[in-house]
Chain A
Amino acid sequence: MNKTSSIVIIGGGISGAAVAYELAKRGQKDIILIEREYLSGGATGRCGAGVRMQWGTKMNCLLAKYAIEKFETLNEELDYEYDVEFKQGGYLMCASTQKEYDQFVKNVALQNSLGINSRIITPAEAKEIVPYINTDYMIGGTFHQKDGHLNPFHTTLAYARAAERLGVEIMKYTAVTGIDVQNGKIKGVMTDKGYIATETVLNAAGGYSQQIAEMVGVTLPLYSQRHQIMVTEPVIPIQGPMFMGFVHNIYIQQTPHGSFIMGRGDAYEPKDLRVTSGWQFMEDMARNCAKLLPALRDLNIVRQWAGLYNMSPDKQPIYGVVEGVEGMYVAAGYSGHGFMFGPVTGVVMAEMMLGLPTTVDVSALGPDRFASGKLFVEPSVV
């Protein structure tokens, strides 16, 4: 079945769905969104779904602030029939070394200068916020009440349904098999359900974005890496904020449903596309969780899973035009925070693709920055 479309978005995660909605909201017609499986079936639906403004670069702070302010009114804006389950219980960042603490002090000064009301806290203050923290491993920390957590499935579906109401066509369970480029211009997208003639394509394929880029002969400096998560049985609400530490390399959050979601990175993971479960993760996670939040050791783990971080050299996203292929755009390389940037990705990419000035200046995040060496590394990622 062959089709014609003005814009094809590849990837039905939060980014693709948000861009589709923001384009349609600005009057763009004939948009097709292609998703290989079900909406949020990739990294979006596998992520820890925490959202925070407490970042270490001005760019990430501004992007996150804009995104989180949008999350606050997302149910209403998208007129969603269910609930995106936004819990603004804050983020409690735990510093375990002097170096980490010094970085946090710098981060808070930066955040405060940008209107983000984060603050330095002592271990005693941390215990007031989460009474069962073991502060033996904490020399200080930071806290910001407006950070939080959402249900990544519902958030994506909320965007997708709003986009559909505005005329976007969503092709689920459809795989892109190639991109037709002639004389340096996009002509169409090949899928296992037929050919779509189009002159504009957005690569929002998350963990698979480098594969999509290869289809137009472009190599993006991105790689994907498995990150694992596990979840416990639900219990009564006892933890407000996401608890996060970079030295211990963990994040632990109680969802509104009552279950605790916890994950950690592993620098030794191979750089590939596997999303299987490893046996070592559960033990490492349990060990670190029991050390920092001992009360949780009595909870039952019900499931472990994995998703892909799409890593860029400076751990910041790539937003922009792909040089040398007219009509090709990319929004990828989030390095583990694509979900929380979803709303701002939607806005800036839609504006960029329609030739409008962008609400947040993301010109420094173009794919050309790697060739020119203008990187600015984000220091605070798990």
Chain B
Amino acid sequence: MLKNSGVAERDLVEKVYPSEERRKKGAFAAIECFQRIPCDPCVASCKRGAISPPADINDIPTADFDKCNGCGLCISVCPGLAIFVIDENYSVDEALIKLPYEFLPLPIVGDIVFGTDRGGSPVCKAKVVQVVNTKSSNRTPVVSLAVPKELSMDVRGFCFDDGKEKCECDCANTQPHLHTPHSTLHTQYICRCEGITLDKIREYVAHGYTTLNEIKIISRAGMGACQGRTCRQLILNELAKTTGQPIDKMPVSTFRPPVQPIKMGLLLSEEEQK
């Protein structure tokens, strides 16, 4: 399921969470990393040694919640955007979620946005209370959202528009209270390499192209430099939603070499390179 949808199930997530008792004590890092890949920047980022060096570079990192104080230094360094900081003591009825956010525009403190679950569906309104985008963020800004306390385990992203209400201006967006300029919010990109928007994908689905390969051949989504690493799961989720097919039964496109783009000249011998 995780492989096709890219969305972690609740039972998977609960396994990496601290005890009820620890959660009441204050902020902690939720490491929602479920794929064995050779990656360990989080280990070095923690000044308190709460993330132990792995025996094998592919091992999945875990946090020692006795050492973790929820400082959030590990959020920006995770290339997979898989680490969050949760503080369930933020206010009487709100929890604070610190999350990595690599899209433009950035929200502005005070914006009311829509908190989304791991699959990207809006689940509540959320208030932006901090936006950290310093040099040490290394272009992965961290946004802090105040969300209803009971959704502390669920909100892991946000969007500016839940598609349900009509915006006061004629922009077709929905922002109950938003300082971020409207004009920058209209387009949701599914395939960033080829510039394919969600609207365009929906147009193709409406024309009867309802499998990943069909969307790929007609739109070029997935043919770019990343070869579908970003859009494959986004498109599968959209297709599952619109066609009602279970996502783990949907055919995916073929994985082909090279694993990452490679300069043609590098394949030549030294003599040929001259």
Contact = CB atoms under 8 A, between A and B. Distances in A.
A153 B261 contact: no
Interface in A271-302: 277, 279, 282-283, 286-287, 289-291, 296-302
Give the interface size class of chain A: 20 to 34
A301 B268 contact: no
B21 interface: no
A41 B256 contact: no
A127 interface: no
A261 B215 CA distance: 21
A38 B256 contact: no
A300 B225 contact: yes
Nearest to A299: B264
B217 A298 contact: no
Interface string B245-274: 000000000101110011111011000110
Given A300-B261, A301-B261, A287 B224 contact: no
B197 interface: no
Please report whether the interface of chain A is mostly helix, strand, loop or mixed according to DSSP. mixed
B220 interface: yes
B227 interface: yes
Interface in B50-65: none
A45 interface: yes
A305 interface: yes
Contact of B265 (A82, A282, A297): A297
B213 A282 contact: no
Contacts of B268: 286-287, 290, 297
Contacts of A173: 211
Instruction: From B220, B227, B257, B268, name the one whose CB has the most chain A CB atoms within 10 angstroms.
Output: B257
A233 B264 contact: no
A298 B213 contact: no
Contacts, number: 78
A232 interface: yes
Contact of A153 (B211, B218, B224, B267): B218
Interface string B215-234: 00110100111010000000
Contacts of A303: 223, 227, 256-258
Contacts of A291: 272
A301 B260 CA distance: 8
Contacts of A200: none
Given A38-B213, A153-B218, A290-B272, A300 B256 contact: no
Instruction: From A283, A287, A289, A303, name the one whose CB has the most chain B CB atoms within 10 angstroms.
Output: A303
B227 A302 contact: yes
A298 B265 contact: yes
Contacts of B258: 282, 301-304
Contacts of A133: none
B214 interface: yes
A287 B225 contact: no
A299 B261 CA distance: 9
A286 to B, nearest CB: 4
A233 B218 CA distance: 18
A157 interface: yes
B257 A277 contact: yes
Given A282-B258, A286-B267, A297-B263, A302 B213 contact: no
B213 A232 contact: no
Contact of A40 (B217, B224, B254): B217
Nearest to A300: B261
B262 A304 contact: no
A287 to B, nearest CB: 6
Contacts of B262: 300-301
Interface string B177-220: 00000000000000000000000000000000001011001101
A282 B263 contact: no
A30 to B, nearest CB: 21
B195 to A, nearest CB: 11
A277 B272 CA distance: 24
Contacts of B218: 82, 153-154, 157
A37 interface: yes
A289 B264 contact: yes
Given A257-B220, A305-B256, A38 B265 contact: no
Nearest to B211: A38
Contacts of B224: 302
Contacts of B227: 302-303
12 contacts: A40-B217, A157-B218, A232-B264, A286-B265, A286-B267, A291-B272, A296-B264, A297-B273, A298-B263, A301-B262, A303-B227, A303-B258
The 5 closest A-B CB pairs, nearest first, are: A297-B265, A300-B261, A153-B217, A286-B267, A286-B264
